[in-house]
Amino acid sequence: MDKKLITYLTQRDIRYTVYNHPAIFTVSESKKLNLKIPGAHTKNLFLKDEKLNFYLICCLGDKRVNLKELKKHLSVKELHFASLEELKKELQTTPGSVSLFAMIYSSSVKLLLDQEIWDSDLVGFHPNVNTSTLVLTHKDLKIFYDSLKCRKEVLKIA
């Protein structure tokens, strides 16, 4: 697991349960493994706009993100996936391991957290590696969210 993340969580008394599993790169792979991890399952999209502003979108794993609506909400003309190099530079992680927890590495990326994730009693995210999942209660998710130094927003993602 990401040692900096574990230190970050420990220093803020954020509690979590760890579920170790084989490497998972996609939501569909996760479903095939049928891991029985409790709570809301998430997917995380690292996007950029035409002005090279970066966004991390965290939503339910089976949700289809309406990019047209998201562009309108963000008042941008274009929105597409950032490159592998940009992901590594901005969030210090790799595809398949992207999650809310990577936001400890950035103050310039804007976090967009889906209302359904926010409202969940339990929610799971990869701890910046895709071989485990950390499950948090809403209380601990709130502590983590409030601790971040980035621009952030909880919104209904369609």
Phi, psi of 59 (to 5 degrees): -145, 180
> Is the backbone of residue 75 left (phi > 0), alpha (psi -120 to 50) or beta?
left
Strands 17-20, 122-125: parallel, antiparallel or unpaired by DSSP?
A: unpaired
Asked if 99 and 41 touch (Cβ cutoff 8 Å), the reply is: no
CA 68 – CA 133 distance, rounded (Å): 30
- pTM of the predicted model as reported, rounded to 2 decimal places: 0.93
Q: What is the residue-level pLDDT of the chain in tens, covering all 158 positions?
A: 789 999 999 999 999 999 998 887 777 777 777 788 999 999 999 999 999 999 999 999 989 999 999 999 999 999 999 999 999 999 999 988 999 999 999 999 999 999 999 999 999 999 999 999 999 999 999 999 999 999 999 999 98
Per-residue pLDDT at 69: 95
Per-residue pLDDT at 1: 77
Q: Where are the beta strands (DSSP E) in the chain?
A: 17-20, 40-49, 54-60, 79-81, 110-114, 122-125, 132-137, 152-155
Per-residue pLDDT at 34: 72
Instruction: CATH number of the domain at 62, please.
Output: 3.90.960.10
**Range of the structural domain that residue 31 is part of:** 3-155
Per-residue pLDDT at 35: 81
Per-residue pLDDT at 120: 97
**Number of folded domains in the chain?**
1
